[in-house]
Amino acid sequence: MALDQQNNFQVMYIWIDATQENLRGKTKTFDFEPKVASDLPIWNFDGTSTGQSLGEGSDVYIRPVALYRDPFRPGPNKIALCETLTHDEKPHPTNTRQQCLDVMEKAKDQEPWFGMEQEFTLLGADKHPYNWPVNGFPAPQGPYYCGVGADRVFGRHILEAHYRACMYAGIKISGSNVESMPSQFEYQVGPCEGIEMGDSLWVSRYILHRICEDYGVVCSLDPKPVLGEWSGAGCHLNFSTNVMRTPSEDGAGWRAIEEAVHKLSKVHMHHIAYYDPHGGRDNERRLIGANQTETVDAFSSGVADREASVRIPRQVFADKCGYFEDRRPASNCDPYMVTSAMVKTCCFEGDDSKLTLRYVPKF
């Protein structure tokens, strides 16, 4: 990797396949250094191998939409996040980014900000939780959350490598921590405005999977990777608009937060359908009213309440402005669908607020 590139530049094109969970990628060489995504040409791939086309006419186009520095090929090389297109260069049926972009454009005057908390679980090559006893279980949950020590943290080197790689790439990674279940971790991305949230989270996931690949471990985004009295994995969404986060003497920010939470309560099951790639079935295993979750069929909210569907931080309640946390999205959610649903419910009125986001067909 230290060899000279002879004035050539590598760009890793990455895209989301038909599962809406997995990423694919391949590299192209250029004789110039791209500075923005629009510098790069449309490319294509074999959609029959990714579940995105059938037999004849298997080419699916990929168009770069966001550009990042490549931490695996340091220097001038890049990662290009791409959206998928049909043969006539229209959004592919599995392209949820385009509808998210449309929603964000309509709401841009409200300046929607997002932060997402991505939880993940490390597994060995045999899909057994990383460093767990071969024929048993570790001690019950309690000492692991934000823990320190070799008997409490399994895989911190991966968490740290991912953090630094995201910073190098240009992703707005804002923090990380060890989670409640051993071998489980979390990192936070944001605040990001509009479409940047989905773009950044998808690329951060690509970087995570690549780092795990280098270490010979598997990164699982399954919302309930271990059955029993073990915590599931979510991707909590922190959300605010300009009105919500702006201090005011008349409490306008607090009223906007209360109104948004009320709107969310009215369409709870609609959001559940968009909060994992399988219409809510994955979240049924995680949202069971235990391990700091509400049940999947109930909506609740509360100040500093991590067992509620929506948590309002204590400082926000004290300041009467800020943001709220939707704790329902699953760890394997599509951030484009999650952020679109949030904006349509909280920022639009009338017919525009109805959740009519398109389900992704399975080829």
Tens of pLDDT, residues 288-302:
999 999 999 999 999
Total-model pTM: 0.96
User: pLDDT-derived band of residue 56, with 50, 70 and 90 as boundaries?
Assistant: confident
Question: In this predicted structure, what is the pLDDT of residue 356?
Answer: 66
Give the tens place of pLDDT for each residue, 295-328: 999 999 999 999 999 999 999 999 999 999 999 9
pLDDT at 18 over 90: yes
pLDDT of residue 312: 98
Return the axis-axis angle of helices 252-266 and 335-347, rounded to nearest 10°. 110
Cβ contacts of residue 126 below 8 Å, gap of 6+?
Answer: none
The mean pLDDT of the chain is 95
pLDDT tens figures, 126-137: 899 999 998 889
Which amino acid is residue 23, in one-letter code?
L
Q: What does the alpha-carbon distance between residue 247 and residue 256 come to, in Å, rounded to a whole number?
A: 12
**For residue 363, what pLDDT is reported?**
41
110 pLDDT more than 80 = yes
Per-residue pLDDT reduced to its tens digit, 183-210: 999 999 999 999 999 999 999 999 999 9
Residue 282, both tokens: 């994955």
Q: Which residue has the tokens 């996931």?
A: 205
The pLDDT confidence band at residue 57, using thresholds 50, 70 and 90, is confident
The larger pLDDT score, comparing residue 351 to residue 125, is at 125
What is the torsion angle, in degrees rounded to the nearest 10, for the CA atoms of residue 217, residue 172, residue 277 and residue 264? 140
pLDDT attached to residue 321: 98
Question: What's the whole-number mean pLDDT along residues 164-183?
Answer: 98
Query: pLDDT band at 2, cuts 50/70/90?
Result: confident
Q: Is the pLDDT of residue 119 over 80?
A: yes
Write the burial class of residue 274 (CB in 10 Å: 0-12 exposed, 13-18 middle, 19+ buried). Answer: buried
Q: Say yes or no to pLDDT of 330 above 90.
A: yes
pLDDT score for 361:
45
Counts for the chain of helices (H) and strands (E), in that order: 9, 13
By the 8 A CB rule, do 347 and 114 touch?
no
pLDDT for position 362: 47
Residue 354 has a pLDDT of 66
